[in-house]
Structures are given as C-alpha cells and as structure tokens.
Structure 1
Amino acid sequence: MSAEQRENLEAILRQSAFPADIDLEEQRRLLRELLSAQPLPADVTVTASTLGGVPIAKVTVDGVEPRHTVLYFHGGVYVMGDAFTAADLASQVARRTGAKAISVDYRLAPEHPYPAAVDDALAAYEGLLQNGTAASDIVFAGESAGGGLAVATMVNARDHGLPLPAAAYVMSPYVDLTLAGATMETKGAVDPLMSRQGFLAQIANYTSGQDAAFGLISPIFADLSGLPPLVIQVGTYEVLLDDAIRLAGAAAAADVEVVLDVTPGVTHVFQAYHAILDEAVVALDRAGQRLSAHLAGAKRVTAHAE
C-alpha cells in the first residue's frame, strides 16, 4: 500500500465517519451514501427476489458461469445496511469463486431485534438448500456484523441438523457484543470509522433485553465444534481486531480449520475499497483461492460419499 493510497482512504473514512449520538435514520442515510458512492462494476447485475420468505438481492457477474453460491450477509451493527448496498463486495467474492451471490436482506433492529436477523439468515439458507443447491456448493461470506451473522448461522444450522456450507469467509467480524476485546480501547485512536461508543449506542437496540453473551448473538461464545473451514480477515487499524483474533482462537480450540489473515495498516472492512487499495484486491484474491479450494474439496467429499 502506497502512502498516497493510505492517505486517500483515511481521508475518505474520516470524512465519512459520523457521531454515534445522531438519529438512527440519519446514520442509515449516511451509511447508504457512503456505500453507494462507489458505483457497481459494469459487469455486475443485481435483482431483487426472495428466498425462504426472506428478501434478497441476487448478484451475478457477466462472464462468470456460476458453479457455486455465495450466501452473503451485510454489515451495519444489525441496525443499518441492506442487501443491495453490499452487492459490490458480494460480487467481488462471487467473481473469485465462480459463483453467484445471494445477499440476504435480513430484518434490522430496533424495529426487529434479535432473533429476527438470525431467523432470516437461517430461513434464507434453508430456502437455498430446499431449492436444490447442495451445501457443498455454498460458501457463506459477510462483513462486520454480517461476519458475525455468518458464524451464528452456521452454528444455528448445525443445531437444526442441516448440512453445512463448504466454508465461510468473514471480514472484520463483529462477534462479541459484550465488547470485551482489548482493541476496543487500544485501537480506538487509529480506527477512523468504528468506536466502542458507536457499538455501545446500538447493542441494546439489537439485544432488546437478551444476554449479549448468548452464542447466537455473540458467536465468540458459541460452541463452534463441527463447523466448516473458516477464513477470517482483519486489519490492524480497527477496534474489532481482537474479535477476529479471539474468533480464530475459539475456532481452533474447537478443532475447526481456520485461517486468520491479518493485514497491517488497514482499517475496518478494507476489502470494500478494492478500487483504490492494493491490499484489498490481494486480500480478496487470497480469500477467493481458499474458498475455491474448500468448494472443490467439499465437492470431492460429497461425490465420494455418494
């Protein structure tokens, strides 16, 4: 990453950061503005649909014959964001895995607190399976809260006796709503976008009286045993660095195959800035290679089992 790239990105992010105490609807508007500032690549098509009764955005890339499916979960601390503003990042994962992406438009708090997002995520996955897509042809992906939701959905699917996807890819995962990670404090000065105060302002909207340490709310505390391979990416300039590190440790302790991919000097969900940041492209490429290998491996295992 050149100094110019870093300076440009930090300027964009600091200009885009907004106070935690402003009205939620205004925060939602500002986030849409930030995410919509980067136009979709010309070869990406996004269409609205439903899956398992849940609204989704179908994301396809011209010239990519979709052999697989990326089930994608957007970020936004469970109170902001939507399936469509996440379409660009979802398409970046899809093009690197020979897949189409399905971005899940799960319900948001405070209008729909926990377990609405968790229920919608599982319903979309069940719908995908019921439509005939093999679990071995599916990978989960998500950023920030969507990364946490991806992990929670695998735990939930396992506990419901469903077959699990081939792998999951989570970017800057938000997996501890108790905010116990040390980097909530130690990285506050270098994270231009996220803060402990910002998270605190929204946790009660999502948990709505439930224990923030419950495994489907904060999957860092869930039993992760039996989950498929996990690819975790995070930057060193973000308050969620510890969430990623501790998630990798918890996964490894549960005998889950896990890769923790830490990029120095970059901030929260840096992959979203692939148009202006070399590290973002490289990280997406690494994740795509690992997901593709897991998809191929799961397909071989499934074929052998049959």
Structure 2
Amino acid sequence: MLTIAEQREQFAAMFTRPLPADVGSSATTLGGRPALQLRITTPRPTGDAVLPGGPVLLYLHGGGFVVGSARVTAHVSAALLRHLNGRAISLDYRLAPEHPFPAAPDDCLAAYRELLDSGIDPHRLVVAGDSAGAALAVVTMMRARDAGLPMPAAAVLFSPAVDLTLSGASMRSKDGVDPFFAPADLEWLFGQYAAGSDRSAPELSPIFADLTGLPPLLIQAGSSELLLDDAVRLAGRAGADEVAVTLEVVPRQPHVFQLDDGSAGAAAALERAGRFLATRLGGAKEAS
C-alpha cells in the first residue's frame, strides 16, 4: 500500500489542472490555515468590476479527509467563480491521520467565522465542497447555526460523503460499478479520520443530523458512485427538516465527476451549480 505522502502526491497528479489564463491565484490564510484565493482578472462581459464587497465563495476540497488540497480543486472553484462577481477562497484544512476529527471541522468553522468577522455580508457568502469537503461544508453550517452565526446564502455539495458508517444501499449496489472506490477503500479513509470516534455522530455523519435552518442546497452526484445514497438521503433529510434542496443525479457519472474539466457532463454540472449560487446571492449576477 502507498504511504500517506505517496497517496497525496498521486491524488494531486491525477486531478490538479492548470487554472484558466484569466484566473489569478494568491496564497492567503483563513482561520489560521493556509488558503488559496482566486479572482477573475479580465473584465466581465457586463462590464462590472470585482469590488471588495463582492460575493465570496468558500470552497472545501475533497479527498476522503486524508488527501487533497486547495490547489487540486482550484479549477472547480474557478468554474463556479465565473458566475460570481467576487472571489473564491479554498481552505487547506488539516488532514488525517496526522490530524483526525475534529481538526478539519474546527478549521472550517474558524475560516467561516473569520470571513464573517471581516465584515462579509452572509447574504453575499456561499459555500461549496466536494466529497469529504461537501460533508465538512454541511458540518460547518451546522456548527455555525448552533453557535448563533448567520447562514451563507446557499451551498453546493458535490458527491457528499456524509455517512461514515457506510450504511447506504449503494455501498452494495454500486460495488464494482464505481470506477474509483471499493467499500474497503472508503472504510480505510474514514477510519483514518474518525480515529475511534463514533462514526454515526452527526458531526462525522451529518446524514444523521438535524439540518433545520440550513440555507438552500444543491446536491449533485453521479449514478455510478458508491456514495450515491449519501447524496439521495441527505437531500431527503434536508427536505424533511424544511431546507430548500435540489438533488441532481447524473446518469453514468462517477464520484465528483465535476473534477474532469474535459468532460461535457462536468462542464454542464458546474454551469448549473454556478447559476444556482448566483441566483441566491443578494445582488449577484449570473455570467452571460
């Protein structure tokens, strides 16, 4: 088996893409952690300038809580950013096994809190994440709600990994169909992160959480992934808790298919996700 360092290098080599020429990136910090900030550097078709008070996208990367980085998924953040007259910040939260639960959600809440403390209007703030990062997005909003902090305007969740107990029916029905994972792979990753904690606890598996008070959600998943039922059940849980939720299951697509920037299906899904965020931002405009 590869070492943790080798797994991280392999994951980065597989999924990192060059940023478009008109997307500028800069290193920053948020909540005490390194982060990557993105801005569109060319004028928008509308002629609008990117203003300091413009919308902010907080992006949380995936990787099973063990691999991944802000840079690996920067092209996804950039695709969403094209619909927002603002900036995106992707967080490098601490990874397991060096830093198991609750290090990552602690980092994400600290980042969210700092954005609010900096004066950002929560109506101009949106959140997105993929896989483990999508789960962390849900947990961050739950924690923010419980702390009395305002909610963001909306959130987009790509293939959320929200059931660390692996109890979804698709863990069996999609075994051998999923091109990336077998159940044992997810068991190992989630074990590194949980490190002996109760995996059914809501902050580890938000499929079992009370989602009341969360903002509008868009959940996207592929029909070919082991985690399909995580997305389907999360949408049902959100709906039962009176959260406005849209679920999209794209046929014959794998886990976080949005990472494949050469795929027409990925481009279309990111287009829908970007428009979803744009229409829920107070005063934000959709890209033409």
Q: How many residues align?
A: 277
Q: Structure 1: which 5+ residue stretches go unaligned? A: 1-20, 300-306
- Aligned-partner Cα distance in 1 for 2:284–2:182: 38
TM-score (norm 2): 0.92
For residue 223 of structure 2, the aligned residue among 222, 225, 236 is 236
Partner residue in 2 for 1:163: 150
| 1:39 partner amino acid | P
Partner residue in 2 for 1:59: 38
Partner residue in 1 for 2:95: 108
Partner of 1:56: helix, strand, or coil? Answer: strand
- Aligned-partner Cα distance in 2 for 1:282–1:251: 24
| 2:280 partner amino acid | H
Describe the shift of the 1:297–1:249 C-alpha distance in structure 2 as closer, same or farther (beyond 3 A).
Answer: farther
Contact 2:31 2:108 (C-alpha < 8 Å) held by counterparts: no
> Percentage identity across aligned positions?
48
For residue 70 of structure 2, the aligned residue among 83, 94, 117 is 83
Partner of 2:234: helix, strand, or coil? Answer: helix
For residue 137 of structure 1, the aligned residue among 112, 119, 124 is 124
Q: Deviations over 1:114-150 (max 9, x none)?
A: 1000000000001101111111101100001000100
Superposed counterparts of 1:23-102, under 5 Å:
23-36=3-16, 38-63=17-42, 65=50, 67-102=54-89
| 2:114 partner amino acid | G
Partner residue in 2 for 1:255: 242
RMSD: 1.6
> Bigger CA drift: 109-118 or 47-56?
47-56
Superposed counterparts of 1:152-301, under 5 Å:
152-274=139-261, 276-296=262-282
Q: Deviations over 1:63-94 (max 9, x none)?
A: 35262111000001101111121211111111
Partner residue in 2 for 1:5: none
Q: Deviations over 1:214-252 (max 9, x none)?
A: 111111111100110000001101111100000000000
Partner of 1:233: helix, strand, or coil? Answer: strand
TM-score (norm 1): 0.87
| 1:116 partner amino acid | A
Larger fraction in helix: 1
Contact 1:46 1:84 (C-alpha < 8 Å) held by counterparts: no
Describe the shift of the 1:57–1:298 C-alpha distance in structure 2 as closer, same or farther (beyond 3 A).
Answer: closer
Shift of residue 195, structure 1, vs aligned partner: 2.2
Shift of residue 285, structure 1, vs aligned partner: 1.2
Q: Structure 2: which 5+ residue stretches go unaligned? A: 45-49
Partner of 1:142: helix, strand, or coil? Answer: strand
